[in-house]
Structure 1
Amino acid sequence: MFKTSNFSIINQCYLIYKNNIGILVDPSWDYNLIDTFLIENEIALKGVLLTHSHDDHTNLANEFAEKKSVPVFMAAEEIEFSGFKCQNLQSITSLNEIQILDFNITPILTPGHTPGSICYLIENNIFSGDTIFIEGVGVCSTKGGDVDKMWESVQNLKNILPENTFFYPGHSFGELPGKNLVFLLKNNIYFQIKDKAHFVSFRMRKNQPNLFNFK
Structure 2
Amino acid sequence: MKVEVFRVSNDVMKNQCYLIHHQGSGILIDPAWDYELIDGYLSEHKIVLKGVMLTHSHKDHVNLAGKFTREYGVPVYMSAVEVERYDFSCLNLVQLAHLSKVVVGDFEIIALLTPGHSAGSMCYLVNGHCFTGDTIFIEGVGSCSETDVDDLYDSVQYVKKQLSKNTLIWPGHSFGMAPGMEMGYLLDNNLYFQLDERDLFRNFRLRKNRPDPLVFY
| TM-score in terms of structure 1 length | 0.96
Q: Are the aligned partners of 2:16 and 2:172 in contact in 1 as well (CA < 8 Å)?
A: yes
User: Which of residues 47, 50, 56 is equivalent to 2:60?
Assistant: 56
RMSD of equivalent CA atoms: 1.1
- The match for 1:202 is 204
- Equivalent position amino acid for 2:65 in 1: A
Q: Which residue is 2:92 aligned to?
A: 88
| Match of residue 150 from structure 1 | 152
Runs of 4+ in 1 over 4 A off after TM superposition: none
TM-aligned CA deviation for residue 213 of structure 1: 5.7
Task: Tell me the amino acid that sits aligned with residue 192 of structure 1.
Answer: Q
Q: 2:16 aligns with which of 9, 12, 17?
A: 12
1:102 paired with 2:106, answer: yes
Cα deviations by residue, 1:16-69 (Å, 9 ceiling, x for unpaired): 000100000000001010000000100000000000000000010000000000
Uncovered stretches (5+) of structure 2, i.e. residues with no partner = none
1:26 aligns with 2:39: no
Name the counterpart of 1:193.
Answer: 195
Partner letter of residue 51 of structure 1?
Answer: T
- TM-score normalised according to structure 2 size: 0.96
The amino acid of 1:165's aligned partner reads: T
Count, aligned residues: 212
Q: What residue number does 2:145 align with?
A: 141
**Matched AA of 1:104:** E
The answer to whether structure 1 residue 121 and structure 2 residue 125 are counterparts is yes
Of 75, 84, 97, the match for 1:71? 75
SS in 2 for 1:201: helix
- 2: CA distance, partners of 1:131 / 1:60: 20
Identity %: 51
Give 2:48's aligned residue: 44
Write out per-residue CA displacement over residues 65-113 of structure 1, whole angstroms, 9 at most, x where no aligned residue: 0000000000000000111111101101111101113200000000000
Give the alignment of 1:175-194 within 5 angstroms: 175-194=177-196
**Matched residue, 1:35:** 39
Shift of 1:202: 0.4
For 2:178, give the aligned amino acid. Answer: L
Separation in structure 2 between the aligned mates of residue 102 and residue 23 of structure 1, nearest angstrom: 9
Give me the whole-angstrom Cα distance separating, in 1, the residues matched to 2:173 and 2:209.
22
Equivalent position SS for 1:99? strand
For 1:18 and 1:123, locate their aligned partners in 2 and report how far apart those are by CA, in whole Å. 11
Matches of 1:115 and 1:201, distance apart in 2:
20
SS at 2:202 equivalent: helix
The aligned residue for residue 161 of structure 2 is 159
User: 1:98 is paired with a residue of what secondary structure?
Assistant: strand
